[in-house]
Amino acid sequence: MRTQRGLAAALALCALATLTLLASHPAPAGHGLAELISSEARDRARDALVHGGFIVTLAVLIVCFVFLSRRLGSERVPVVAGFVAYCIGCGALMLSMIVDGFAVPAIAARFDPAGGGDLKSAETLFILCGTLIRFLMPLGLAFQAAAMLAFSAVILRSGGWGRAVGVLGVAAALLLGGALLAVPPRGAMHVLLGGIVLQALWYFGLAGLLWRAPAPSRS
């Protein structure tokens, strides 16, 4: 029971950290390339703190899902598939965080117009980084949505509070997956942010489930 409540507390803290970091994410300022580069260079420390925090949170979540998988039945195919999908999703999101939170600000500091940087070279590198982020973030969230669906399908069978958490996970996974496929590129950022919020709510639900009741039965 102590291990189970520790896992619940860890999931709740990860959910809270996710929402806090999301709210603290610096928004790009300015519309021109020169203003964007100056803004990224100026917010370099904050970018590193926020994106580094996301990377640490994702690493802790992987550990949490190791223990959750053991409690749900690590021999079950949906649990194995869900855990593998979750790890792939975390890996893609971590790569996106490294590019967005460390590579882009470093490039901005190197080519800051205030220091006489070459804007043409900076533009090429910014386009490359932006392209990587536009692929990695949706890919990571798509795999995590698949993981939510797999884990929630198993949790649904436990009944009681587990049924509510399972329904929340299935609904959130289907909503996120459908939005990633249907929403045009201009609205993709809203989908990504909404997906992260949905995941955090699901983590809170898992935390409540683990805190209140014994581990789901392995039927």
| pLDDT tens readout for residues 44-102 | 889 999 999 999 999 999 999 999 999 999 889 999 999 999 999 999 999 999 999 99
Residue 219 lies in a domain: no
In a domain, 79, yes or no: yes
3-state class (DSSP) for residue 1: coil
Range of the domain at 176: 2-212
Domain count, the chain: 1
Q: How many residues does the chain have?
A: 219
Would residue 218 count as lying in a domain? no
> Is 217 part of any domain?
no
User: Is the residue at 13 inside a domain?
Assistant: yes
Q: DSSP class of residue 75?
A: T
Closest CA to 60 of 13, 107, 23: 13
Specify the pTM: 0.89
CA 194 vs CA 13, 15, 109, 168, 212: distances in Å:
19, 14, 30, 14, 27
Q: Is residue 60 included in any domain, yes or no? A: yes
- Taking the C-alpha atoms of residue 59 and residue 41, their distance in angstroms, rounded to an integer, is 27
Residue 166 in any domain: the answer is yes
Supply angle C-alpha 170, 174, 180, rounded to 5. Answer: 145
pLDDT in tens, 111-143: 877 666 677 888 889 899 989 999 999 999 999
